Structure 1
Amino acid sequence: MTAVLLVFAAFVGIGVPIAFGLGAAGAVGLWLMDGVPLTVIASRTFGAMDSFTFLAIPFFILAGELMETGGISRRLIAFAAAMVGHIRGGLGNVVVVAMMLFSGISGSTNADAAAVGSVMIPSMKARGYSGARAGAIVAAAAGMGILVPPCLTMVVYGSVTGTSIAALFAAGFLPAFAMAAALLLHIRLEERRAGLLPEPRLPWPERFAALRAAGGALLLPVIIFGGILGGVFTPTEAAVVAVAYALLAGALYREITPAFFWRALVRTGVTTGAVMLMVAGANILAWVMTVQQVPQSLAAGIAAVGGGRVLFMLFSILVFLILFALLDGLPGMLMLIPVFVPIAREMGIDLLHYGIVMTTVMGIALFMPPLGVGLYIVLGLSGARIGELSRHLLPYLGTMLVVAVVIAFFPGLVFVVPTLLGLYGG
């Protein structure tokens, strides 16, 4: 397996797309195995993508593209500002709450950072925030937002591991609220020291007006989760409903033009193609690792060291942080699932819990200086230097990492909502 990993590292190092790096590494592994036909590549590629559940991916991406118009993001942010802008922490509170609302629509962490950041960072700078501080808050909030369903990471994880996607969606809610609460407390304490004042309290008529303006966008996650949890439709069918609703909302807001719709279709096709190629490449590599019994060997090594589940979970968090920052989250997850998920299963760790831990750490890693891909989106919006932004961001990421460790070692946070909704039986 050393040669296989070296091939993958070499391809990534010279700039080959991750999907092809995964597939090439798997092909080398097959070539080094005696008596294994290379036709396995074709069968594993087709088998990886031959799943009804994966149809949810392009539809959720398209729904997010359609809902990410400037008018919709401004309406959601205006609603968040009306509700929490007057609380100490001011616009920092608005960013966190707006990110939770927007994440429930888009399903894409980088898109969340771009959409909310493009509106909030200029407003925060105008109210006395430095570009670095404003960018750090947006980055931290976007990293938290990955836990708010619908989440493409959860769709892919559930499809690859056989975990219920509906249960994963439900399991993300309480950890997301815990992470948001920790960030809000952190921002409140920080803003007290920084001396930044909250926004004026709006009268209730203006708050209701903001709610009415954002009502069309806010209904989408209600329809998605209500339909899934009520058994009206599957997650894949929910994605189709989301697209239909996004088109209707866009038509009512008069913001979806033919040119915009065409660009949304093109971006959806490009993103879906990249994701599916990564799934196919990872499936080839996963087959090689399974045949070579790599997970079993690693599990035996961890057991020999001692520490059991505790050591394995801490080791998982460390590896996730590094690899998800290096490989932009989803490719890293697809590379690690074949190795780490079987070990988790052998150690008796519930895959629903493990998936939420993986997703939580991914949100942190995507904005971790100096490697996180999402970090550079925020840098471009804030106009700050990476060192300056990192100085403000690292304390937020530290708070988020503490919450991630709590989620890892207190699985009740993950199981309580799916259990109450009848999606998890233990």
Structure 2
Amino acid sequence: MTVAVLFALFTVLLIVGVPIAFAMGLSAVTVVLMFMNVPLVLLPQRFFSSLDSFPLMAIPLFILAGNLMNVSGITAAIVRFASALIGHIRGGLAQVNIATSLMFSGISGSAAADVAAVGSMLLPAMKKEGYKPEWSAVITAASAILGPILPPSLLMVLYGAMTGQSIGTLFLAGILPGLVIALFLMALTWWKADTIGGQKHSRATKAEIGRAFLAALPALVLPVLIIGGIQSGVFTATEAGVLAVVYALLYGFVTGKLGPGLAWHHLRDAAIATSSILIILGGAALFSWIIAREGFPAQIAEALTTLTSNPYLALGLIVVALLILGMFVETISALILVTPMLAPIGAAYGIDPIHFAIVTIISVLLGSITPPVAIILILACRIGGVDYAKVIRPFIPYFLIILAGLVVITYVPAVTLAVPRLFAGYGG
């Protein structure tokens, strides 16, 4: 009864337009006042204890580092390197778009940052070379989900902070899944090249590739430093965020494209973005506390095990539910909402926790580019000046190809676990 009222209030508040953080918090407070005989002082304690987490300090640091690296000219260097490397193959700049997102994801850790950085550079260039704008926007949005899959990933930091899983191991586990999805996207783009449009480019010389590689090297080195430092025990994920910020500041000042005023502007933006995430976390903490106190995750697990004892079928049902949720709820909010409920269910089925984490994150991400909400797709349309209604049809094959990648990742656990086992000695 208590959980039913909680979800009913939450749904009503969302429908009337209340922000999700306040919808979770208000519904939780209302249920406590109506049905639960507990001291009210527990509410602020639960709220603030959820934020008292050292790993969460990595979030503003990685956001800030990504912003600083973007304005310091590193995105342009990555685009030139990707263009020199694969710009000549079938699909041209569309393939460069995907490859750039793949490399930029090692800096940003955010799909929105990926769309903004890569889209603002490549969408005008693709339009100039005759690519159809609606296809260009779809490719930009589809490849942007690589940002939170490949390390460093803000979603993995959040998931690790909420579940106690190693953030470094989660970072490693995202490498192969990100590459799989990128390869699937590039294969589809190769096949659809005639439909997408554009011009053919000549193959770059070895000297041109070498120069482009050296220019992009600072961006390519950063994720290696972060992952290597975490796994070697030199620093934690949070301290890696500090390294990323210092690295980005030094690069920006050396190249002359970053001054104190611009650095302060991005520091403020990172603080604002982080505060919104923390408010959502606080509201979700109250919401999740009631759900856990009422034993709801155990009830779901019992219902699922009654329905099926097959962990693969259960995992498939969870993926479908997450895809639907991601269509209507923003990615970070959705992940914060479901993780406390789903992580125990995955454990009840004996699913490896790192594998379950990656499947959960990618499922929610795919929902974030799926209409009707599709925040990332809408952002790509705005940057490219494309009517949102026109991208729905070209979006379908890209949705299906990412879904195919998700199916492979879901049912072939080695895709997520091979790298952690190889480089971190993970025994799961």
Band the TM-score falls in, shorter-chain normalisation: over 0.9
Distance in 2 (CA, whole Å) between partners of 1:274 and 1:354 is: 26
Distance in 1 (CA, whole Å) between partners of 2:310 and 2:265 is: 49
Report the CA distance between 1:88 and its aligned residue: 1.5
Aligned to 2:143: 141
Deviates more, 1:321-330 or 1:234-243: 321-330
| 8 Å CA contact retained: 2:130, 2:199 | no
Aligned to 2:88: 86
| 8 Å CA contact retained: 1:144, 1:364 | no
1:192-220 Cα distance to aligned partner (Å, 9 max, x none): 56565432111122221212222222222
Aligned to 1:314: 316
Q: Does 1:374 align with 2:376?
A: yes
Which one-letter code corresponds to 2:343 in the other structure?
Answer: V
Report the CA distance between 1:51 and its aligned residue: 1.2
Distance in 2 (CA, whole Å) between partners of 1:93 and 1:13 is: 39
Report the CA distance between 1:34 and its aligned residue: 3.4
SS in 2 for 1:145: coil
SS in 2 for 1:201: coil
Q: Does 1:118 align with 2:120?
A: yes
Aligned to 2:56: 54
CA RMSD, 1 decimal = 1.5
Q: Does 1:225 align with 2:227?
A: yes
SS in 1 for 2:424: coil
Distance 1:195 1:257, change over 3 A: closer
Which one-letter code corresponds to 2:302 in the other structure?
Answer: A
1:73-122 Cα distance to aligned partner (Å, 9 max, x none): 11111111011101122111101110011111011110101110111111
Aligned to 2:289: 287
Q: Match for 2:363 among 343, 357, 361?
A: 361
Distance in 2 (CA, whole Å) between partners of 1:247 and 1:57 is: 17
Distance in 1 (CA, whole Å) between partners of 2:333 and 2:182 is: 26
Q: Does 1:128 align with 2:130?
A: yes
Q: Match for 1:264 among 253, 263, 266?
A: 266
Q: Does 1:387 align with 2:362?
A: no
Report the CA distance between 1:71 and its aligned residue: 2.1
Report the CA distance between 1:39 and its aligned residue: 1.4
Report the CA distance between 1:423 and its aligned residue: 4.6
1:286-322 Cα distance to aligned partner (Å, 9 max, x none): 1111111111111111122225323321221112112
Which one-letter code corresponds to 1:79 in the other structure?
Answer: F
Q: Match for 1:5 among 4, 7, 18?
A: 7
Distance in 1 (CA, whole Å) between partners of 2:197 and 2:290 is: 57
Distance 1:194 1:240, change over 3 A: closer
Report the CA distance between 1:379 and its aligned residue: 0.8
Distance in 2 (CA, whole Å) between partners of 1:158 and 1:238 is: 15
1:231-266 Cα distance to aligned partner (Å, 9 max, x none): 211111101011100000101111112221121011
| 8 Å CA contact retained: 2:334, 2:364 | no
Distance 1:220 1:96, change over 3 A: same
Aligned to 2:70: 68
| 8 Å CA contact retained: 1:139, 1:393 | no
Q: Does 1:347 align with 2:352?
A: no
Which one-letter code corresponds to 2:155 in the other structure?
Answer: T
Identity %: 36
Report the CA distance between 1:330 and its aligned residue: 0.8
1:381-423 Cα distance to aligned partner (Å, 9 max, x none): 2222222212111211110011111111111111100001125
Distance in 2 (CA, whole Å) between partners of 1:25 and 1:295 is: 18
Runs (4+) off by over 6 Å? none
| 8 Å CA contact retained: 1:370, 1:386 | no
Which one-letter code corresponds to 1:234 in the other structure?
Answer: T
Report the CA distance between 1:146 and its aligned residue: 2.3
Distance in 1 (CA, whole Å) between partners of 2:71 and 2:13 is: 36
Distance in 1 (CA, whole Å) between partners of 2:299 and 2:184 is: 38
Q: Match for 1:150 among 135, 149, 152?
A: 152
Report the CA distance between 1:328 and its aligned residue: 0.9
Q: Does 1:250 align with 2:252?
A: yes
Report the CA distance between 1:30 and its aligned residue: 2.0
Distance in 2 (CA, whole Å) between partners of 1:193 and 1:133 is: 9
| 8 Å CA contact retained: 2:86, 2:96 | yes
Which one-letter code corresponds to 2:176 in the other structure?
Answer: L
SS in 2 for 1:274: helix
Distance in 1 (CA, whole Å) between partners of 2:85 and 2:335 is: 36
Report the CA distance between 1:152 and its aligned residue: 0.4
Deviates more, 1:188-197 or 1:6-15: 188-197
Task: Could you tell me which runs of 5 or more consecutive residues in structure 1 were left unpaired when the two chains were aligned.
Answer: none
Q: Does 1:416 align with 2:424?
A: no
| 8 Å CA contact retained: 2:108, 2:147 | no
1:118-175 Cα distance to aligned partner (Å, 9 max, x none): 1111111111111101111111111233211111000000110111100000000011
| 8 Å CA contact retained: 2:325, 2:364 | no
Q: Match for 1:239 among 238, 241, 258?
A: 241
Deviates more, 1:148-157 or 1:353-362: 353-362
Q: Match for 1:165 among 164, 167, 174?
A: 167
Aligned to 2:46: 44
| 8 Å CA contact retained: 2:105, 2:146 | no
Aligned residue runs from structure 1 range 169-208, under 5 A: 169-192=171-194, 196-208=198-210
Report the CA distance between 1:349 and its aligned residue: 1.3
Aligned to 1:216: 218
| 8 Å CA contact retained: 1:167, 1:423 | no
| 8 Å CA contact retained: 1:56, 1:239 | yes
Which one-letter code corresponds to 2:62 in the other structure?
Answer: F
